[in-house]
C-alpha cells in the first residue's frame, strides 16, 4: 500500500495517527534516504504515543538508540552509522526490538536479518514538500495495523 503526503504537516498527521494506534509491542522499520522525513515521522509517532511536546525527539545517529518512556515505551534506533552487526549485540538490539515496547528502526537495511514480524514504512521524496510512503507488513499484528491505517487513509 502506498500514499502521498503533500506537506510536513500531512506526514506528521500520519505519524501521530500511527502512534495513537499502537497498542501492543511492535517493530517498525523506517526506510528512506537522507532528508526524506524519517525524523518528522518518528517525532510525530512519539507524540502519538503520548510523549510530551517538551521532550525533544532526536535521531540517535551517534548513540544508535534513544529510549523514551510513554504508554508503550519507544526504543528509537538509527543504524546509519552501524559499522558492524556485532554493535547490535553490544547495544542489546534483540532485547529492545522484540520486547514490551515499540522499536522504531531507521536504516533497517543495515540489519543482517529481517525475518521477524514488523511493519515497514518506506519514505520517498517526490518534491520539496511531497512524499510517497509505502507500507508493508510481516506477521499478523502488523497486518492488522495496516488495516487501521488503510481506514484512516481512505477517510482523509
Instruction: Please determine, looking at this structure, whether the domain spanning 2-155 carries the CATH number 3.90.1150.10.
Output: no
pLDDT in tens, 88-108: 888 788 888 777 799 999 999
Give the pairing of strands 102-106 and 74-78: parallel
Scan for cell 510536513, then name that residue.
8
pTM score, two decimals?
Answer: 0.91
> 114: closest CA among 134, 90, 143, 93?
93
Instruction: Specify the higher pLDDT residue, 20 or 96.
Output: 20
The pLDDT value recorded for residue 59 is 81
* Selection from 59, 50, 65 nearest residue 16 by Cα: 50
Which residues share a beta bridge with 30? 106, 121
Amino acid at each position: 500500500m502506498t500514499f502521498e503526503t503533500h506537506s510536513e504537516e500531512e506526514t506528521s498527521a500520519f505519524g501521530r495517527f500511527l502512534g495513537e494506534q499502537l497498542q501492543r509491542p511492535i517493530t517498525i522499520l523506517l526506510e528512506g534516504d537522507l532528508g526524506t522525513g524519517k525524523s518528522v515521522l518518528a517525532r510525530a509517532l512519539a507524540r502519538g504515543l503520548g510523549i510530551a511536546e517538551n521532550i525533544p525527539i532526536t535521531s540517535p545517529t551517534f548513540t544508535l538508540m534513544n529510549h523514551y518512556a510513554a504508554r508503550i515505551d519507544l526504543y528509537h534506533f538509527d543504524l546509519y552509522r552501524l559499522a558492524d552487526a556485532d554493535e547490535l549485540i553490544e547495544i542489546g538490539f534483540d532485547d529492545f526490538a522484540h520486547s514490551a515496547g515499540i522499536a522504531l528502526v531507521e536504516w533497517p537495511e543495515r540489519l543482517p536479518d529481517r525475518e521477524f514480524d514488523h511493519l515497514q514504512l518506506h519514505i520517498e521524496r517526490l518534491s520539496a514538500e511531497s512524499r510517497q510512503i509505502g507500507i508493508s507488513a510481516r506477521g499478523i499484528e502488523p497486518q492488522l495495523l495496516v488495516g487501521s491505517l488503510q481506514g484512516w487513509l481512505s477517510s482523509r
